[in-house]
Structure 1
Amino acid sequence: MDAFILLGSFILLILLGMPVAYALGLSALIGAWWIDIPLQAMMIQVAAGVNKFSLLAIPFFVLAGAIMAEGGMSRRLVAFAGVLVGFVRGGLSLVNIMASTFFGAISGSSVADTASVGSVLIPEMERKGYPRDFSTAVTVSGSVQALLTPPSHNSVLYSLAAGGTVSIASLFMAGVMPGLLLSAVMMVLCLIFAKKRNYPKGEVIPLRQALKIAGEALWGLMAMVIILGGILSGVFTATESAAIAVVWSFFVTMFIYRDYKWRDLPKLMHRTVRTISIVMILIAFAASFGYVMTLMQIPAKITTMFLTLSDNRYVILMCINVMLLLLGTVMDMAPLILILTPILMPVIVDIGVDPVHFGMIMLVNLGIGLITPPVGAVLFVGSAVGKVSIESTVKALLPFYAALFAVLMAVTYIPAISLWLPSVVL
């Protein structure tokens, strides 16, 4: 009955149209009232939920990504990707995927990736003879990489939701190989389409021009080197690397590229603060929700339920995958990470799955949800940027869904894809 009161009130509030953050907070209060928890205890949990040093990584990485997205860095990364792979048949679709790889490894945001890379490449791909819906589908599916590769904001959220027992550095390293695997699978699929549909070849860029493009893009790529190099060498923590990323992106944008106007900075800061405030409210209320869940012993009950279904680790992982895929289509990624991680963590520990490995499983699952209707935020952004209907984009995405599912199965059942790199470098 306790679980019904807590989860039922949350679902009812969501169905009534209340924002997820406030639905979490209000349902937590209802649950606390039901089991007779003092209001003061709930307020302490709300405050404690955002009183964590590691959380500073989120606003800093969001700000760094915003500066990079609007400061001309995405355009230069697209040009650099064109130098590397733009000359083959279907080269622009490969450029799209590779540009997402580069930009995602700097911004850590799928939405920023889709908006930045898509605004540059979707019109260009259409001009070169690619269907606009296909161009949009490539952009949207390729941006899922940003959720996996460092500096992923969602890895920070997962670490927080896991109670700080999983290090952010381990999650950052664990995301590199799955991200590269996703990029490789997407590129192979694009090459198959290019040959089948006879998409155009790009031109080989002259050496002198290629070196100039590479030199300009190097400033942006250095952000990735600084972030990962600093963390791996122990010079600074993952949280401190976020602040350094802001300083570096600001320096490159305002003093090297100089495409961005100083008078536009206050507007950029305002948009970033609005985004961060929503995330922080969500984290605060999710902490109180998780506190009530723990008191009601909901995670333990769900663990028992999964273990009664089967004692086979692979069967349980498949059940969890199906659940995450379904939930990812109807709710945004951040609240699902904050809600489900405390519930599922006892399950995966009991069946012997490494929490770092499970973090990658969860991110791939919920990343697919972000590009799937009816509540796919990245899908909506991509369709808006590409000026294509949701229906057309989803239809063009069907083969990409299959490729993403194949990547999900590989990440789920081959732990070494996620765990090999952290074991080597950390």
Structure 2
Amino acid sequence: MDALTAAAILFGAFFVLLFAGIPISVSLGIASFATALVFLPWDDATYVIGQQMNVGVESFSLLAVPLFIFAGNIMNNGGIARRLVDLALVLAGRVPGALAHTNVLGNMLFGSLSGSAVASAAAIGSTLHGRQKEEGYDPAFGASVNIASASTGLLIPPTTAAIVYSAAAGDVSVSALFMAGYVPGILMGVVVMAIAYAFARKHRYPKSGRATPAEGLRAFLRALPGLLLIIIVVGGIVFGVFTATEGAGVAVLYTLTLSMVYRSMSWTAFKEVATRTVSATGIVMFLIAASSGMSWVMAYTGIPAAITESLLSVADAKAVILLLMVLVLLVVGTFMDITPAILIFTPIFLPIATEIGMDPVHFGIVLILAMCLGTMTPPVGSVLFVATGVSEVPVERVVPRLMPHFVGLILLLLAVTFIPVLSLGLPGMMGLLE
């Protein structure tokens, strides 16, 4: 039986189960096992799939995922978001539509610390919603800015998306991925701010006034302990002081200490944070385990090699191949969350990317950025639904306001795809590329 038949069984079963409402992780596991049964006896298929699922999560580097999730949940409940918003408002106060720019800066700062687009959209959006309403902002516009900028934290380190990709790609350097995400992540925020600025000027949204030097210094000092986390964790990982997993442990210890200093988390709140972390970790780890089984089945049946050969035979121009991959990733991102998408499509598209001379770090950033756009689009769009809920505005009202941001971010995705220096320049300068 050829790879094409195996691919039809594997992906056919997966999508049928997915659209039937079965959770992604369970759909992955069942589809992988069903495909393995076509090629192997029952006992062998059961043993191999079980073994591969265990191997998939038996990784020291993946221990960073639950630790970063824990640190992000602590920060979301530790009063840090409010301090970052105050600092962002000082920075954006003299620009028309200052609260919209504050939203973007707040998401860039908090998202990079929490590593979660959903947490960032909820924390920053809920902090600013009331004030935007008082100053006459269109709720759909405010929600669209929050949605479009919330995913910057998936690129700006420390980010669990880079860690998951590193594991899926065969231990691509986390340090290089962290540094490669800075410029695209910042550009993502700049694109959203530029579009928000044009809209705010057209509708004459107010500035927030100039902060006095004393007020600016006070806001900076209040936010500084949270900002130091980026320097400590990212700096420590990049310069080899500790591994990504050890850095995640440092982040947990630091955020716990900060919450105790701020006296912003009770014992009851801590238990709720720990419970949410365990629940989220279980979901992510089971996804990784199930996708490891699928990766083995694909490798065993030769699916990635067949897809690579087929795509290269259809289009021999590098630009066309890159455009096809980006198009597929954009479509996938509309109905699949970022973690399973990275785990499923890395083993499929990475061989193609390397075959046409694309650096694995560059491909990882393109993949993550494409998935960022998926978080803001229906039907899955986790950030879209969280942000519209926080802003108390229907999705159908937000989508038209979101379209200019979406178009701008697609152009950014194409720029990052076809201009490698945007992602590889910084890690290259620091000697992190192999």
Question: Are 2:69 and 1:62 aligned?
Answer: yes
Distance 1:288 1:409 in 2: 32
Q: What residue is the counterpart of 1:382 in the other structure?
A: 387
Please give the root-mean-square deviation of Cα atoms over the aligned residues, in Å: 1.0
Question: Are 2:358 and 1:363 aligned?
Answer: no
- Where in structure 2 are the equivalents of 1:17-416 lying within 5 Å? 17-36=21-40, 38=44, 39-164=46-171, 166-255=172-261, 257-416=262-421
Distance 1:284 1:233 in 2: 30
Give the counterpart letter for 1:391 in structure 2. Answer: E
Deviation at 1:295, TM superposition (A): 0.5
| Alpha-carbon displacement from aligned partner over 1:85-142 (angstroms, at most 9, x marks no partner) | 1222211111111111111221111011101100101221121111111001101101
Distance 1:140 1:315 in 2: 30
- Contact 1:126 1:135 (C-alpha < 8 Å) held by counterparts: no
| Alpha-carbon displacement from aligned partner over 1:197-216 (angstroms, at most 9, x marks no partner) | 10011122222222222111
Distance 2:162 2:237 in 1: 15
Distance 1:21 1:161 in 2: 16
Q: Give the TM-score, by structure 1 length.
A: 0.98
Deviation at 1:43, TM superposition (A): 1.1
Distance 2:277 2:52 in 1: 25
Give the counterpart letter for 1:153 in structure 2. Answer: T
Q: Secondary structure at the match of 1:175?
A: helix
Deviation at 1:404, TM superposition (A): 0.7
Distance 1:123 1:392 in 2: 18
| Alpha-carbon displacement from aligned partner over 1:130-165 (angstroms, at most 9, x marks no partner) | 11110011011011211111111111111111122x
Query: Identity rate of aligned residues, in percent?
Result: 41
Report which stretch shifted further, 258-267 or 167-176: 258-267
Give the counterpart letter for 2:55 in structure 1. Answer: A
Stretches of structure 1 lacking an aligned partner (at least 5 in a row): none
Give the counterpart letter for 2:416 in structure 1. Answer: V
Distance 1:184 1:295 in 2: 44
Deviation at 1:348, TM superposition (A): 0.6
Give the counterpart letter for 2:36 in structure 1. Answer: A
- Contact 2:112 2:154 (C-alpha < 8 Å) held by counterparts: no
Count of aligned pairs: 424
Deviation at 1:390, TM superposition (A): 1.0
Match of 1:13 among 8, 11, 17: 17
Deviation at 1:381, TM superposition (A): 0.7
Q: Secondary structure at the match of 2:335?
A: coil
Q: What residue is the counterpart of 1:4 in the other structure?
A: 8
- Contact 2:191 2:405 (C-alpha < 8 Å) held by counterparts: no
- Contact 1:133 1:392 (C-alpha < 8 Å) held by counterparts: yes
Stretches of structure 2 lacking an aligned partner (at least 5 in a row): none
Distance 2:92 2:226 in 1: 19
Distance 1:160 1:235 in 2: 20
Give the counterpart letter for 2:83 in structure 1. Answer: R
Deviation at 1:22, TM superposition (A): 0.5
Give the counterpart letter for 2:34 in structure 1. Answer: I
| Alpha-carbon displacement from aligned partner over 1:203-253 (angstroms, at most 9, x marks no partner) | 222222222221110010011010121112211112211110111111111
Distance 2:380 2:20 in 1: 16
Distance 1:254 1:157 in 2: 30
Distance 1:146 1:264 in 2: 24
| Alpha-carbon displacement from aligned partner over 1:167-207 (angstroms, at most 9, x marks no partner) | 11111110001011111111111111111110011122222
Distance 1:209 1:5 in 2: 62
| Alpha-carbon displacement from aligned partner over 1:372-404 (angstroms, at most 9, x marks no partner) | 011111111111111111111112101111111
Q: What residue is the counterpart of 1:420 in the other structure?
A: 425
| Alpha-carbon displacement from aligned partner over 1:6-39 (angstroms, at most 9, x marks no partner) | 1111111112111000011111111111111511
Shift in CA distance, 87/258, structure 1 to aligned 2, threshold 3 Å: farther
Deviation at 1:371, TM superposition (A): 0.3
Deviation at 1:260, TM superposition (A): 2.0
Distance 2:384 2:47 in 1: 41
